Amino acid sequence: MKHTNGSIEIVTGSMFSGKTEEVIRRLRRARIARQQVQVFKPVIDNRYGLEKITSHAGTEFEATPVARSTDIPPLLKPETTVVAIDEAQFFDYGVVGLANELADRGLRVIVAGLDTDFRGEPFGPMPQLMAVAEQVDKLHAICAISGEEASRTQRLINGQPAYFDEPVVAVGAAELYEARSRQHHAVPRRPAAMPSVQPVPPGQPEFLGGVLVSAEQIRDRVAELGAMISRDYVGKELVLLCILRGGVMFLTDLMRQVSLPHTVEFMAISSYEPGVRKSTGQVRIHLDVKQDIAGKHILVVEDIVDTGHTLARVLDLLNTREPASLRICTLLDKAERRETQVPVDYVGFTIPNHFVVGYGLDVDEYHRNLPYIGIVKPGFNIG
Ligand code: PRP
């Protein structure tokens, strides 16, 4: 008994939302209706696994593991009228064309998969599949925190929310997934959105063309950075190494958000002469750290990374002293201006190429005390 009209049905949602259970229910009903059913699932990590799909509730249905979408058509039997594809988020994008083609031929295509990954980002070909489908059912799990409906998959590494840019396989870590509602889904180190220019409040210096990052935005982001650092350096001998003078305001706020015991150190560096707006690459060290940093975990705290010359020089020097680790935390990253690559581990805000001032950054040594990051009007002559 053939379907006269082919169609695509999507069963999607977070982990533990019952997708496979729902697909198996539909397949059993199809069999009762004397439909010929075939199920495919992706090979994950080169492991073919068992020839079945299994729901978290334990129900099973036989399935054929395939490496790619092009493996499916040669395996289809002429009498098949219902094709199910499980874990479709792991398939290549060819699965979209295949689902369409099968539906055009009059088959009923049932596709199950995660709509979003652990970061809350659309997962693989699922958005396209949902767009071309006749029917989309989003299932919900139960939030492990609040007991509300859950739409997100939370990834935990050693019990803590995984970072946005965490490697797919965290070596030696205990990994766990659970369902969470939007409110309780946590993804630290998500790149902060590029700040948009806000008007200058009344009474502020007239050379300012706008506020790029407000005092409130700085406060919130510094708290986030402090929480991440507190998570990452548990049990480690942490030294916050501030690069004077621009980094000083950031350091004093950041260290109050780092809940771990730590020490602070200072280096005074200059790469810009007064009146010069671009790093010369001639970096001068005016003050060096006091303590022996060998075997310690050094986190360099900077106000801004621009061309990268200053930090490249600082890292070269510090690496010769054999710290246990050497990482960078900068409030601002003017990434588009980079002339030499430096590995920046924590970024407050990635900003466009404006001449910025405030929160430690100077214009000819002044205005470091502004509580926000302001933009100097192009061509404005302060002196
Ligand atoms: C600023 C800033 C960084 C450096 C970044 O320092 O504090 O250290 O420039 O520029 P780069 O990535 O192009 O090298 P500056 O020399 O102005 O000294 P300051 O911190 O005393 O203001």
User: Is the distance from CB of 179 to CB of 150 less than 8 angstroms?
Assistant: yes
Q: Which residues pair with 333 in a beta bridge?
A: 305, 350
- Please report the pLDDT score of residue 340 as a whole number: 86
CA nearest 150: which of 116, 179, 111, 117? 179
- Please report the pLDDT score of residue 226 as a whole number: 93
- Please report the pLDDT score of residue 289 as a whole number: 95
Average pLDDT on 344-359 reads 92
Tell me, in angstroms, the distance from the centre of ligand 1 to residue 111's CA: 53
The pTM assigned to this predicted structure is 0.61
Which atom of ligand 1 lies at the shortest distance from residue 247's CA?
A: 7
Confidence of residue 280 (pLDDT cuts 50, 70, 90): low
User: Is the distance from CB of 65 to CB of 48 less than 8 angstroms?
Assistant: yes
- Please report the pLDDT score of residue 295 as a whole number: 96
How far is 216 from 195, CA to CA, in rounded Å? 12
Which atom of ligand 1 lies at the shortest distance from residue 303's CA?
A: 7
Mutate to test the pocket of ligand 1, among 249, 271, 287, 311 (most ligand atoms within 8 A of CB): 271
Length of the chain in terms of residues written: 383
Average pLDDT on 229-256 reads 95
How far is 10 from 27, CA to CA, in rounded Å? 13
Confidence of residue 367 (pLDDT cuts 50, 70, 90): very high
Ligand 1, residues at Cβ distance < 6 Å: 243, 245-246, 269-272, 279, 302-310, 362
User: Is the distance from CB of 107 to CB of 134 less than 8 angstroms?
Assistant: no
Please indicate whether residue 167 or residue 14 has the higher confidence score (pLDDT): 14
Confidence of residue 272 (pLDDT cuts 50, 70, 90): low
- Please report the pLDDT score of residue 173 as a whole number: 61
Burial of 160 by CB count in 10 Å (0-12 exposed, 13-18 middle, 19+ buried)? Answer: middle
Task: Note if 87 is an active site residue.
Answer: yes
- Please report the pLDDT score of residue 159 as a whole number: 86
- Please report the pLDDT score of residue 43 as a whole number: 87
Protein residue closest via CA to atom 7 of ligand 1: 246
Residue 57 has pLDDT above 90, yes or no: no
Cβ neighbours of residue 355 under 8 Å, at least 6 residues apart? 277, 363, 375, 376, 378
Average pLDDT on 160-169 reads 75
Tell me, in angstroms, the distance from the centre of ligand 1 to residue 264's CA: 19
Q: What are phi and psi of 313, to 5 degrees?
A: -65, -45
Confidence of residue 125 (pLDDT cuts 50, 70, 90): very high
- Please report the pLDDT score of residue 279 as a whole number: 57
- Domains present along the chain, CATH in parentheses: 7-139 (3.40.50.300), 208-376 (3.40.50.2020)
Residue 245 has pLDDT above 80, yes or no: yes
- Please report the pLDDT score of residue 47 as a whole number: 54
Tell me, in angstroms, the distance from the centre of ligand 1 to residue 263's CA: 23
Tell me, in angstroms, the distance from the centre of ligand 1 to residue 270's CA: 6
Q: What is the separation, in whole angstroms, between the first and last Cα of the chain?
A: 86
Rounded to the nearest integer, the mean pLDDT of the chain is 90
How far is 61 from 20, CA to CA, in rounded Å? 9
Protein residue closest via CA to atom 13 of ligand 1: 307
Please indicate whether residue 341 or residue 105 has the higher confidence score (pLDDT): 105
Which atom of ligand 1 lies at the shortest distance from residue 279's CA?
A: 13
Cα dihedral sign, 217-218-222-223? negative
How far is 60 from 20, CA to CA, in rounded Å? 9
Residue 5 has pLDDT above 90, yes or no: no
- Please report the pLDDT score of residue 261 as a whole number: 97
Protein residue closest via CA to atom 20 of ligand 1: 246
What digits encode the pLDDT tens for the residues 188-222? 877 766 778 999 999 999 999 999 999 999 999 99
Which atom of ligand 1 lies at the shortest distance from residue 362's CA?
A: 22
Confidence of residue 134 (pLDDT cuts 50, 70, 90): very high
Q: Which of 87, 166, 178, 302 is catalytic?
A: 87
Three-point CA angle 108, 111, 115, nearest 5°: 150
The lowest-confidence range among 3-12, 173-182, 272-281, 359-368 is 272-281
How far is 338 from 355, CA to CA, in rounded Å? 15
Confidence of residue 151 (pLDDT cuts 50, 70, 90): very high
Largest CA distance in the chain: 86
